[in-house]
Amino acid sequence: MVVEISCEEVWREISKYLDGEISEEMRARMEEHFKGCKHCTAVLDGTRNVVRLVGDARAFELPAGFSNRLYLKLNRRLGKDR
């Protein structure tokens, strides 16, 4: 028999749940809660989705003019060193 857990408790533990940083007992309680709580499932799905997106190498773009400024600085250094 799994002891029930409130939505508030689930939110407090959701990050650790994603990181696998909770006990087996807590995991079982949370998974039982997710089965019957659409709200907490939505919080879990969204949080997991965000973590996956920001961990993707494509998430950040190069600022405009970055290359030009980089090679300008490099050229200055090359001019000094050569």
Partner 1 sequence: MCLLARRVITCHGEQIVAEDRKAKNEEGNVSCIANLDPTHGQEILEAGDAAGSPATTSAVLTKRPGAASEAELIERVLKGDDEAFRELVRPCEHAVFMATQVILNNEADAEDAAQEAVLKAFTNLAKFRGDSKFSTWLIRIATNEALMKLRKQRHQKLHDSLDEQRDGEEGDYVPRDFADWREIPSEALQKKELRQALSRALTSLTRKHRDVFVLRDVQHFSIEETANLLGIRKSAVKTRLLRARLQMRDALAPGIDGSWSAGRAEYQQVRPW
Residues in contact with partner 1 by CB under 8 A are 8, 11-12, 14-16, 18-19, 21, 38-39, 41-43, 45-47, 49-63, 66-67, 69-71, 73-75, 77-78, 81-82
Q: Tokens 């600085």 correspond to what residue?
A: 73
What is the smallest separation between the CB atom of 80 and partner 1, expressed in angstroms? Answer: 10
Please, which residue, 3 or 79, has the CB nearer to partner 1? 79
CB of 24 or CB of 68, closer to partner 1:
68
Cα separation of 6 and 10, whole Å? 6
> Pseudo-torsion of CA 69, 74, 75, 76, nearest 10°?
90
> Letter for the amino acid at 8?
E
